[in-house]
Amino acid sequence: MKYGIFSFIILLFVIAACKDERPLTIKDLDEVMIDLRAYQENLGDEIKAGRMKDAKWLAYGMDSVFGEIKRKFKEHRKLEQPFSYYYNLKMQKPIGLIKDAIRKGDTVLGMKGYRLLIKNCNSCHDDNNINKTVRF
């Protein structure tokens, strides 16, 4: 009987440990955007150079950072809407174009998606009165 209760308690701990409770970044939105900038700038360089294998790594890394921002910043003093709203409205399409271009090895389509990404990033900054300009 003692072993049954002990086993049950251990099982409860194991189940509780399996929850997907990844820790959120402790960085502020400005700090996370600096990380995003590194991916974005290097992504553009790799697409321009036709190095789609490296562009793929950067595109998926950048989208991963966007995912963390969406999870963490459901509200923020600089945003009128949750970040996921802006991602879905402005980022999803250009990132999809970039990923599609990478799969096809199409640098022209990749640059089209990249230009749209930059335009939409700046549009989002304008919408939220953020005095930062994303460079091409």
End-to-end CA distance of the chain: 68
Distances (CA, A) of 96 to 26, 60, 101: 28, 10, 8
Count Cβ atoms below 10 Å from residue 93 Cβ, excluding itself. 14
**pTM score, whole prediction:** 0.77
The answer to whether position 121 is within a domain reads yes
Residue 62: which domain range? 28-127
The answer to whether position 52 is within a domain reads yes
Q: What digits encode the pLDDT tens for the residues 27-67?
A: 788 888 898 999 999 999 999 999 999 999 999 999 999 99
The answer to whether position 7 is within a domain reads no
- What whole-number distance in Å separates Cα of residue 70 and Cα of residue 130? 18
The answer to whether position 34 is within a domain reads yes
pLDDT number for residue 58: 96
Count Cβ atoms below 10 Å from residue 49 Cβ, excluding itself. 11
Residue 24 phi/psi, 5° resolution?
-80, 155
The answer to whether position 11 is within a domain reads no
Residue 76 phi/psi, 5° resolution?
-160, 150
The answer to whether position 92 is within a domain reads yes
pLDDT for 69 beyond 80: yes
pLDDT over 90 percentage in the chain: 55
Kindly report the CATH number assigned to the domain that includes residue 103. 1.20.120
Number of domains making up the chain: 1
Mean pLDDT of the chain: 86
The answer to whether position 17 is within a domain reads no
CB 120, CB 94: distance < 8 Å: yes
The answer to whether position 90 is within a domain reads yes
Instruction: State both tokens at 120.
Output: 């939409």
